[in-house]
Structure formats: C-alpha cells, structure tokens
Structure 1
C-alpha cells in the first residue's frame, strides 16, 4: 500500500511556463482524498514551493533545495542544513572564476553578484526575485548562510566543472545536474533521497510505502529508495534507467499508484 507520493517540480509537475496542469491538480487532490500523503521535492526554495501550493490550493510536505530543508504539511521544520562558512567561500571562489552565471541561495533568498539580462531571464522562471549583492563573495558564510550554489550554463560545459568540484571537495559537497542547464552544489549528504528518508521516519512510513516521480539526476536518490519510482518519459536515458516505471505526467503516475493501491487494498 502506497502511503506517500513524492513529486519533483521542474520538468515534472511544472511545465516550461511554471504552470501545473489542471489534470495533475485534479489527480493530486484525488490522491490526497484517498488517504495518500503528498510531498513536493525540489531544488527550489521553500518559499517557491509555497507559491506553487497556493496555486494548487493544498498543503503538502515539502523538501526544498534538494533536501537541505524539510517542512511538513503543518509547517513543522524537520531538517535545515547550510554550508560550513569556509567551504561555502572556497567553492564560491572556484566557481566564480569560471565563465558561468552563479546564484547563491540561503533558506529564502537567491543572490547574484550583478544583475544582467541572463539573471533577468533566469528570474522569469522562478517564483521569487533574485537579489543583487555586489559583496556576495564577502557575505557568504557570514551574513549569508548559503545552502545551495547554482551554476547556470550548457550541459556539456557543466559536466567538466562538476567533475573538477567532485575531485577537489569529495568529503564536503554534493553536486547534482538538476536541470539541463543547471549544476547545483550542496553541503555533503544533502539529497532528496536522504531528506525523504528523514520525512518517512517522521511519518512512520516504510520505503516500500512511497512512490516518487522526477526527471533529472537529483531525483535518482529518491528512485533508489522505493520499488515504486517513476521517471518522466522525456527524461534523459541515464535518469530513466534508474526508475522502475516511466510516466508521461504526474497524473499518469498517480493513476498507476491508485491501481497499485486498489490491487493491494
């Protein structure tokens, strides 16, 4: 019996216009009414997930910034982790030397050193503004408790940088390609999978009682937790091979979840 359904946002529940389809909203509400808990798990900030839930008209559990923060549907904070100051400063110095747009997040704000057209373009895909802070390098780890550093660029260009960072900081950071043009750098041991384990422990739910859906590499740690994992049909082959099922939409995955529950009811 599946008791918790977890959905990624970008490329999964959200389309390119930052919208959730009426079909998916209806499916989520139907699933919740059937007694299944729901969680949204994203690289986005918690405040952005809140904006999406306002549009849906529901309150769900929330895993934000790839697992750095966990909040229940009653707004109880289960987990919050930021970088150690020295590590955040070192990593930021390394990535800012590369020719990429870099965004630093704390719990509720995204920061960049200087605004430009690229920042404005990225901002249009978010549910919260990006704050310009020309003293960002000095503020990281001091005034700004960084929880995520995001590098924006072409996928083929991000891979060598990811490799470089993994080799230089094997014991202090995690890196995920969270989007075809985004590399997220997180504190060590932060992942959607680890966060989901904390959440289900709090809810007293077994891994075999959860289903999850996503489309990118940062969703794979969730896939590996449960036999009921779904990858979006348009996900990369490397992502799809890690999931038990594929689905065209969140709504379609929910239909399968309902079928599984009906057969085990």
Structure 2
C-alpha cells in the first residue's frame, strides 16, 4: 500500500454510475467489501444527488452503518437515519426559474420532502427509481403555488439544450443557486451553499477525521469538489470524457458495471482478495 492509502480511514462514494451498477443496484460483491470495511472500522459515507428517501432504501442493502449525504449536500443523515443537516430552496426563487420559457421536451423535476414533482412521465428517470418509496407526481408547474423544495433539475437527451438553459438561468440567478451536470443529460440546481464536499466536511468534523484520511469515488461534475478535497480521489471508468479530462491528474479506475469501487478498495485499501 502506498503512503497516501495508508492514511485512509474514511471511504466516500457516489451512488449512480459509481457504487451502483448499470441496473442501479449494489452488487453482492460490493456488499461483501463494504461489510469488511465496516468490520475493519472504516467510516463509510455515501454522497449522492438522490433524495434521502430514495437513497436510504439503497444504502440499507449494505447492511452496515453509513452516513448519508443526499440531494448533493442539502441533507445529511446519520447511520441511525437521524437528520443532522438540511437546507431548502426559497419558493419564489424557484418559481422565477420555472416561469422561464423552456423547450417543451425538457423534463423538469422539483424535489420535495415526501414526493418529487415533474411535468413529464420520463422512463429514463423512472428506471433510476424502480424500487424507491420516493414517488413522482405529475403536475402543471404553471398552476403550482408552492415551489419550495430541496433541489430542482432538468433532463433532456441533448446536452447542448441543457447548457443553453443553464446559461439563461444563471443570467439572473448566479448568486442564488449552484449547479452541476450529474450526468450529461441531467442539469441540477441547489442552494448556493450546497455541495457534497461541504456536507462531508461536517461529518468528518463530527467524527474527528480529516479530508486527508478519506478516499472518494465519483463519476460526475457534482462529485468534482468531493474528489478534489479528499486525500485520494478516483474517477470511474464510465465517467464522461470531459469530466476525466478536466480532472486529468486523478486516477481512472474500472467502470461501475465491473465493480470498480469495490475492487479498488479490496486491492488497495483492504489488501485482500475477495472473489466475485
């Protein structure tokens, strides 16, 4: 084990495109590795853009204590599922964005506490939520009264369409929201002070660890600061090329479909060979 990995006491991972395979599930091999991490007293943090109700049902399958950072940092839950931190968006600010004229083919989503509201039935989004208790509600945003929520996002098959929308939104809202492309077809907006790395810092302080003692895995631009903050940041082989190029100094590992996170942890952190 090299010197930077000898310091590792904390394991941080994104979910979609990272810890989850292409069917949006945690493999049995990954579960085995994370159980061993827990047995060897590593602190485990999952940091995702997903809503906490959605993410909790997934990480519970790991069958070990996990801190959960959700909605890109707008919520932190303890391993006992206690809410430790929350930050919401102001209704009027969100409404001013939703009032913009948009391509009707863009799917718009607003994350509420108990449901997610959307203007379209979108099979690609529904595939991410197959076993979730966090359910969608089709709404007409033109008649909605309360736009308060945790985050909002837009999805469209054409990446440039979303880039153009991002630029229009930021013309008047750069002081109000931060944004990220979690996937090339998914543009997310959160409260200006929300970021996975900020939420993770709160957990590390609570548990008396530092970023230098953490290893992190991610595949999207909402993982960027998280990967750059930790002692060892690793990019999934399935990440978009423009993300890999931007962080070209970081190591690229195997894809999520090939259990890249678990295999790296097994070989370089746990120094053990666990058969698939």
Indicate the TM-score class for this superposition, using the shorter chain for normalisation: 0.7 to 0.9
Do the aligned residues in 2 keep the contact of 1:123 with 1:129 (CA within 8 Å)? no
Do the aligned residues in 1 keep the contact of 2:38 with 2:65 (CA within 8 Å)? no
Determine if the alignment matches structure 1 residue 148 to structure 2 residue 154.
no
Per the alignment, residue 77 of structure 1 pairs with: 83
Residue correspondence of structure 1 range 135-174 to structure 2 within 5 A? 137-141=143-147, 145-153=148-156, 154-174=158-178
Look up the SS of the partner of 1:6 in the other structure: strand
Of 153-162 and 38-47, the range deviating more from structure 2: 153-162
TM-score by length of 2: 0.85
Structure 2: which 5+ runs fail to align? 1-6, 255-259, 272-276
Residue correspondence of structure 1 range 184-203 to structure 2 within 5 A? 184-203=188-207
Per the alignment, residue 218 of structure 1 pairs with: 222
Q: Distance in 2 between matches of 1:239 and 1:253?
A: 20
Kindly state the Cα deviation for residue 136 of structure 1 after the two structures are TM-superposed.
Answer: 6.8
Structure 1: which 5+ runs fail to align? 260-265
Per the alignment, residue 253 of structure 1 pairs with: 264
Do the aligned residues in 2 keep the contact of 1:102 with 1:150 (CA within 8 Å)? yes
Determine if the alignment matches structure 1 residue 181 to structure 2 residue 185.
yes
Residue correspondence of structure 1 range 55-94 to structure 2 within 5 A? 55-94=61-100
Q: Distance in 2 between matches of 1:98 and 1:131?
A: 20
Kindly state the Cα deviation for residue 139 of structure 1 after the two structures are TM-superposed.
Answer: 2.9
Number of aligned positions between the proteins: 252
C-alpha deviations, 1:145-183, integer Å up to 9, x for none?
A: 311111011223212222222232111001110112111
Kindly state the Cα deviation for residue 69 of structure 1 after the two structures are TM-superposed.
Answer: 0.4
Determine if the alignment matches structure 1 residue 231 to structure 2 residue 218.
no
TM-score by length of 1: 0.88
Do the aligned residues in 1 keep the contact of 2:48 with 2:72 (CA within 8 Å)? yes
Match of 2:210 among 201, 206, 209: 206
Look up the SS of the partner of 1:138 in the other structure: coil
Do the aligned residues in 1 keep the contact of 2:34 with 2:64 (CA within 8 Å)? no
Q: Distance in 2 between matches of 1:97 and 1:234?
A: 30
Per the alignment, residue 107 of structure 2 pairs with: 101
Q: Distance in 1 between matches of 2:203 and 2:128?
A: 28
Per the alignment, residue 60 of structure 2 pairs with: 54
Look up the SS of the partner of 1:97 in the other structure: coil
Q: Distance in 1 between matches of 2:90 and 2:17?
A: 31
Q: Distance in 1 between matches of 2:189 and 2:174?
A: 12
Q: Which has the higher relative contact order, 1 or 2, with Cα contacts under 8 A spaced 6 or more apart? A: 2
Kindly state the Cα deviation for residue 58 of structure 1 after the two structures are TM-superposed.
Answer: 2.8
Per the alignment, residue 263 of structure 1 pairs with: none
Look up the SS of the partner of 1:104 in the other structure: strand
Per the alignment, residue 4 of structure 2 pairs with: none
Q: Distance in 2 between matches of 1:202 and 1:107?
A: 25
Per the alignment, residue 274 of structure 2 pairs with: none
Q: Distance in 2 between matches of 1:136 and 1:192?
A: 31
